[in-house]
Chain A
Amino acid sequence: MDRYVKQRMGFAFLTACAIAVVAPILVVIGLIFIEGAKAVSLEFISAVPYGGMKEGGIFPAIVGTLILTVGTALASIPVGVAGTIYLAEYARDTWMTRAIRLAIVNLAGIPSIVYGLFGLGMFVLFLHMGTSILAGVLTLAIMTLPVIISTSEEALRAVPMEFRTVSASLGGTRWQGIRYIVLPQAMPGIITGIILGLLRAAGETAPILFTVAAFYLPQLPRSPFDQVMALPYHLYVISTQVPGMPMSVQYGTALVLLILVLSMNLIATVIRSYFRRRRQW
């Protein structure tokens, strides 16, 4: 066969695959936007649910998800980034560090319900935190850490060894080389890892199921030991546990969750391109 024909056929095949991947996603997102838009109003995002959650809004669930996401970020980012720097830049290559690395990669792939059960056993019961924001945040953070660490380590390793050598040859300490040369270059990759991890945390139901999520709780939390409602769990509840729920409320809730996640993604992209352009002190 003519090699140009071959190339054209290959190209057509790849294009078809790309469409097959993207089309369902577009259909789902489109459907949620169209159907959800009918339900979403100012009242929907600012009012408390009532009437068996069929009326009013989903304000407490939005606040709950924001609190959980911010809490997860606070709990996981410092530990995750510091741990990654240690692993990638300081730790010697021994069987111990290799085992740790392997464990982290595997942890990143564990189903979220396992984290949920771990959180229940560890934080809720053993450490007596009860079903609380604290227990939920810690559970989500533990689920997020492997994602942050494995992607960030990749980013640090992608920075050429040479720059560390040059920094040392100019009298820089190891830390100065990392702080001023390596980290700025790895920053876009690290932020990507953080966002990937946090997006997962914001959208998951299973980890918060037994650790923090409330079925119905119109009041906002007042302490870290309170429960909260959360969007993914709320969506699960109104789609499966409440008979006669209007479809529009379900679509509306899904739309709000989607917008929340997409806007986090957008913010991440902006931060990332900012660091990419800056790349200096």
Chain B
Amino acid sequence: MEKFRVEHLNFHYGDKLALSDISISISDRRITALIGPSGCGKSTFLRCLNRMNDTIRGARVEGRVLLDGQDIYARGTDVVELRKRVGMVFQRPNPFPQSIFDNIAFGPRVLGLEGDLHQIVEESLRGAVLWDEVKDKLKQDALGLSLGQQQRLCIARTIAVKPEVILMDEPCSALDPIATLQIEELMQSLKEEYSIVIVTHNMQQASRVSDFTGFFWLGEMVEFDVTERVFTRPAQRITEDYITGRAG
């Protein structure tokens, strides 16, 4: 099943063309990894999917991004509603300087979601495999958690608004190997319910966790295919060079 369909997407920062003519399809309940050298536009592309680029001055989008067949850049799109459906986890763990409970409850509160807040918090923390570690200290400051726990807290905070897609921009780059593995396992369980798009610089991670892989090079999507094929028989020479460490 197709979740996102991106058609001829161009993105400009002022005069600078950051993404050119990207067309891909992102599947529901699958993990799609985006790889490529620094500055090639991975984060820019990711932010196009929930319109987090909107506030950047001078930024301009061309082409179409369809979420369940609806163009999210069409006039009259409710951006708040879009971001509820397409959540985001950032590179650096960034809990609010508040209690664990309030962090998770933030989204449901601002969106005015129905339902028992305590139950939502518990479900979200369980979903992020953090519940057992924090269930006795929900009232404590989230900044007291380890970095790995903080990142899982951020994932829990994202799933608390019950999104359909989760975008992750290098979610493990600030974490140690064990915390990284925990997040990777978590992603495997999350993909039962969500469509996940992850940007990573870690080739092993991309090949371990993802079902599809897209390779960005200088603002273009050079290769997009089933992960196994990208890593074993890439169609482009440049992809092979990058994956094996000869380019980038």
Contact = CB atoms under 8 A, between A and B. Distances in A.
Given A168-B52, A170-B157, A171-B80, A185 B110 contact: no
A184 B99 CA distance: 13
B50 interface: yes
Contacts of B161: 170-171
A95 interface: no
A162 B90 contact: yes
Contacts of A180: 106, 109-110
B84 A171 contact: yes
A171 B90 contact: no
A101 interface: no
Given A173-B110, A280-B99, A168 B83 contact: yes
B97 interface: yes
A176 interface: yes
Interface string B61-100: 0000000000000000000110110011010101011110
B181 interface: no
A170 B94 contact: no
Contacts of A263: none
Contact of B110 (A163, A167, A184): A167
Interface string B202-222: 000000000000000000000
Contacts of B94: 162-163, 166
B157 A181 contact: no
| Chain B contact patch, size range | 20 to 34
Interface in B136-187: 141, 157-158, 161
Contacts of B87: 169-170
Contacts of A279: 97-98, 141
A246 interface: no
Contacts of B52: 165, 168-169
User: What secondary structure prevails in chain A residues at the interface with B?
Assistant: helix
Contact of B96 (A168, A173, A176, A181): A181
B90 A280 contact: no
Chain A interface: which size bin? 10 to 19
B111 interface: yes
Contacts of B92: 162
A176 B80 CA distance: 12
B37 interface: no
Nearest to B55: A168
A172 interface: yes
A171 B98 contact: no
Contacts of A126: none
A4 interface: no
B98 A280 contact: yes
Contact of B106 (A165, A167, A173, A185): A167
B107 interface: yes
A172 B110 contact: yes
Interface string A245-281: 0000000000000000000000000000000000111
A167 B98 CA distance: 13
Interface in B85-127: 87-88, 90, 92, 94, 96-99, 102, 106-107, 109-111
A179 to B, nearest CB: 9
12 contacts: A162-B92, A163-B94, A169-B52, A169-B88, A170-B107, A170-B157, A170-B158, A171-B83, A180-B110, A185-B97, A281-B98, A281-B102
